[in-house]
Structure 1
Amino acid sequence: MTPSPFDSALLGPLLGDADMAEILSETRFTAHMVAVEGALARACGTVGLIPQDSAARISDALLQTHVAPRDLGAGTAAAGVPVPALVKRLQAELGPDGQFLHWGATSQDIVDCAHILQWRDALTLLATRVTQVLDLMQTASTAHARTLMAGRTRSQVATPISFGLRIATWAQPLIALEAALPDLRARLLRVQFGGASGSASAVGGHGAALSAALAQELHLADAPCWHTDRSAIIALGGWLTAVSAALAKAARDLVIMGRSEIAEARAGQGGGSSTMPQKSNPVGAEAIITLADWTTCLQPALARAASPLEERDGAAWALEWLALPQMGMATAAALRHATELMASLKADPASMSMQLDAGHGAALAEAASFALAAHMPRPKAQELVKNALALAQADGISLPQALDRLDGAKGLADWAVTLSAQSQLAASEAMRTRIFAQRT
């Protein structure tokens, strides 16, 4: 295969995402670093650290400057970070004003700010897609509010639910994650300025003022230096992991629901087999599961990166460069697939009814035991239901018919009405409505 599957010609159309690839590209990142250097020059001019006319000339020049990432590669290999090579390149173009470039800053200030600018754009893209998926889920859930199916626990038929409720449970974690985005943005989208060791000592008593001015230039929140506090990065990774996991839950359910012998629902175009003409493989759902598993595998790398040595740790820091872009790509691709799946989701009510009716009404055993518990101790009610199920299976009749034959249950209710699967819809609808009521 390939060491870079997300932008691969072979695997990229399946596992990658063109929009996120552009946002997280090294071209865009390099442009952000240049923009941060320009913003820093303007901020230094504002607080009087460098001449304002030099700051203006630096800013104007950098607005017109394009640096190719490949031109910084050798410098990155030498320094372990691209900023020294970038500064050298820009200073050569700026002439005498170049001496005021990068004033009081360190490489991590520039890289971290550039990364935050990337993730500001990335979160905008991801937020839009989460909303799109949720809108589709909510529409589908409403459409299937009265579509009965068998709820299953631990792979076994449990009780009747609506397909609308199952879709709502897919949406539930995404609703919480959509609501969490403003707090995540507030925590993440902060300026980084601390200089060599995080104290901003190179700018004397201007550290706080310079940080505030830089934050204003970059349209970020002001903050103390967070060189060694990577908790916001972990929070971002956690959000990406949680989104991916939520999508994977829906995808896993769709894989099972689309099994040949179940065939309760289908979504996506389906993929063919190289040898079996009848196959329609759940490619989109499988891709979501793979991407979510990969995102989950990368989250511990961010945790490792969050305990750097002393005031800066090049080894720990670089883990973020490896893990976080891939997590962003995987999450964006999973959302892309999820949008396609939800837009094409189709239920098969006849198959759902057949699955629900299997077992001679066993899915309504809980309802029967609670109905009987109104007339007798619950243990006795449960024993009667077990006996009725045994009779139903032995004689090939339904659970209501069996209860009508058993002494102790006969005549206590109109079992055909009481144990109608339709009678279970009210509870599903109440829960479905509560779930979507959380969405503001």
Structure 2
Amino acid sequence: MTISPFDSALLGDLFSDPEIAALFDDKAQIASMLLVESALAAAEARAGVIPEQSAVRIAEVCRDFNPDPASLAAGTASAGVPVPALVKALKAEIGGEDARFAHFGATSQDVVDTALVLRLREAIGIIRRRIRKLAKSLGAHADAHRATVMIGRTRSQQAVPTTFGLKAAGWLAPLARIDRRIESLSSDLLRLSFGGAAGTLASIGAKAIDVESNLAEELDLPVADMPWHAQRDVLVDFASQLTALTGALGKMGQDLVLLAQSEIAEVQPGKGGGSSTMPHKSNPVQAEMLVTLARFNAGQLGVFSQSQLHDHERCGSSWLLEWLTLPQIIIAAGTALAQAVDMVPDLKINTNRMTENLELSRGAMLAEAATFALADHLGRDAADKLVKEAIAKSAANGSNLFDELPGLTDAPVDWAHVRSPANYVGQSDLFIDRVLGAAKRGFRE
């Protein structure tokens, strides 16, 4: 039995992201904490705080030590953190005089937070690689369909023409911005956490800063200005960017769900999911997943943000709240990206249906174009009044707006030009070029 769909054997293929999930399971957490313990011993030996031979022994054991997570469960429940139980088991494995130098001068949060940062570094690499892959696919659609005219819809109603290329560019544009923000915050997020009991490193004495510097080198992490046990703003910022990412993907997913409706049928996203009783159905499962995961992360972010409220120098309750929420936010973002990366290259764009749907309004979606064309000759108010009259006649007669307009005015308007949707897509081409240019520059850096 499972509590979360993310690690469910039944639902896992739908919700989970095995590559990112592997960074947050028990074994990965233990392995990363042991890596920190090994690096700490090496850093302290370099600074002359512990004997060199003890650091070598600690590193040997940490490299091969693979405790069963269940064996640490009781100690974790008692201490509220897995480090004391892990260190106790590690010391037993090391044995002898060397054991007393394991975890020397550190506190549990140093190990847990730094181990988290090591795994976040890998997760960010995966996420940003997927963003680039998705951006490439969306960019290809934007470029290929810059002249594919379709209905532009505002507030769910037909508005004026647009192009599928511009719609795809609209899905792409946020990805470049979010990727840039994730890159920018990474320098603050991926930092060593090392403060000792209350963030002063008093336990290590005069060589504390040497140990800090050595430890940062061992783990290839920058040093923070000060220990950040109770400063969780950058983690919240990271979670916020992942929520923005799933939101951007969810917006695309929702558009695709609507475009795939039987009555619209302009795009078929993904492979399609079947029905147990209706053989004709091809449900937009992957697009729906993007919407679901966006809504999930939006809710989780509100909970996770409360983990920023730490009491004084450290707070157990706020810290534990991170463990409940942050991994799920990351996995949800990873899953959404994986679904989008798989779905977008194979979107089936029904250009014929887009053309057919453009005719549904019998020219009404170009009423704005007609008004501005007439305004040059009649003035704005008179033009607006005349077009409204033509719309009423069109509705009464079941005719096209542009079959009525020439009978209501002798203004020298090129109605054949105005009635073509392709002639009223404005600066779509320029906007597509701007987005593609920004993505190319951003993802090249």
Work out whether the TM-score is over 0.5. yes
Q: Give the corresponding residue for 1:294.
A: 296
* Residue 47 (structure 2) pairs with residue 47 (structure 1): yes
> In angstroms, what is the RMSD of aligned CA positions?
1.4
Deviations 1:66-115 (A, max 9, x none): 22222211110110000000111111121211111111110000000011
| Percent of aligned positions that are identical | 42
CA contact (8 A) 2:307 2:322 kept: yes
Match of 1:335 in 2: 337
Checking the alignment, whether the CA contact within 8 Å between 2:26 and 2:69 is kept in structure 1 is yes
Contact 1:31 1:67 in 2 (8 A): no
Return structure 1 stretches of 4+ with deviation > 6 angstroms.
none
Letter in 1 for 2:314: R
User: C-alpha offsets along residues 160-183 of structure 1, whole Å, 9 cap, x if unaligned?
Assistant: 000010111111111111222321
- Corresponding residue for residue 418 of structure 1: 418
Task: Name the SS of the counterpart of 2:274 in structure 1.
Answer: coil
What are the ranges of 5 or more consecutive residues in structure 2 without an aligned counterpart? none
> When the two structures are superposed, what TM-score results if normalisation uses the length of structure 1?
0.96
CA distance in 2 between counterparts of 1:425 and 1:301 reads 43
Mapped partners of 1:136, 1:273: distance in 2: 29
Q: How far apart in 1 are the matches of 2:343 and 2:177?
A: 21
State the partner residue of 2:196. Answer: 195
TM (norm. structure 2) is 0.95
Equivalence for 2:25: 25
Q: Which structure 2 residues correspond to residues 329-368 of structure 1 after superposition, within 5 A?
A: 329-368=331-370
Which residue is equivalent to 2:132?
Answer: 131
Give per-residue Cα distances to partners, 1:153-211, cap 9 Å, x unaligned. 00011110000101111111111112223212112110000000011111123333222
Could you tell me which amino acid in structure 2 is paired with residue 185 of structure 1?
S
Correspondence for 2:401 among 391, 399, 402: 399
How many Å apart are 1:426 and its aligned residue?
Answer: 5.2
Match for residue 76 of structure 1? 76
The CA distance in 2 between the partners of 1:54 and 1:19, in whole Å, is: 35
Deviates more, 1:202-211 or 1:228-237: 202-211
Aligned positions of 1:198-347 closer than 5 A: 198-223=199-224, 224-347=226-349
User: Counterpart of 1:372 in structure 2: which amino acid?
Assistant: L
CA distance, structure 2, for counterparts of residue 167 and residue 160 of structure 1: 15
CA contact (8 A) 1:359 1:393 kept: no
Cα deviation, residue 249, structure 1? 0.3
Provide the residue aligned with 2:13 in structure 1: 13
Give secondary structure in 1 for the equivalent of 2:152: strand
Is 1:401–1:415's contact at 8 Å kept on the other side of the alignment? no
SS of the counterpart of 2:151?
Answer: strand
Q: Which amino acid aligns with 2:192?
A: V
Contact 1:152 1:159 in 2 (8 A): yes
Query: Aligned to 2:427, what secondary structure does the other structure show?
Result: helix
| Residues 378-402 of structure 1: per-residue CA shift (max 9 Å, x gap) | 2222222111212222233322222
3-state secondary structure, aligned to 1:374? helix
Further displaced range: 319-328 or 282-291: 282-291
Quick check: 2:377–2:411 contact (8 Å CA) kept in 1? Answer: no
Aligned equivalent of 2:117: 116
In structure 1, runs of 5+ residues without a counterpart are none
The 1-side partners of 2:213 and 2:434 are apart by 43
The answer to whether the Cα contact below 8 Å between 2:130 and 2:337 also exists between their aligned partners in 1 is: yes
Whole-Å Cα distance in 2 between the matches of residues 413 and 139 of structure 1? Answer: 37
Distance 1:383 1:257 in 2: 33
Q: State how far apart, in whole Å, the 1-side matches of 2:14 and 2:90 are.
A: 39
Letter in 2 for 1:247: L
Higher mean alpha-carbon deviation, 352-361 vs 187-196, is at 352-361
Deviations 1:270-320 (A, max 9, x none): 111112222111111111211121111111122110011121111110011
Contact kept? 1:369, 1:385, Cα under 8 Å: yes
The question of whether the paired residues in 2 share the 8 Å contact of 1:360 and 1:389 is answered with no
The yes-or-no answer on 1:100 pairing with 2:101 is yes
Query: Retained in 1: the 8 A contact 2:374–2:411?
Result: no
Q: 1:390 aligns with which of 389, 392, 400?
A: 392
Q: Given that residues 260 and 266 in structure 2 are in contact (C-alpha distance below 8 angstroms), is that contact kept between their aligned partners in structure 1?
A: yes
CA distance in 2, matches of 1:399, 1:209: 79
1:419 Cα deviation from its structure 2 partner: 2.9
SS of aligned partner of 2:263 = coil
Q: Which amino acid aligns with 2:105?
A: G
Q: Is the CA contact (8 Å cut-off) linking 1:151 and 1:160 kept in structure 2?
A: yes
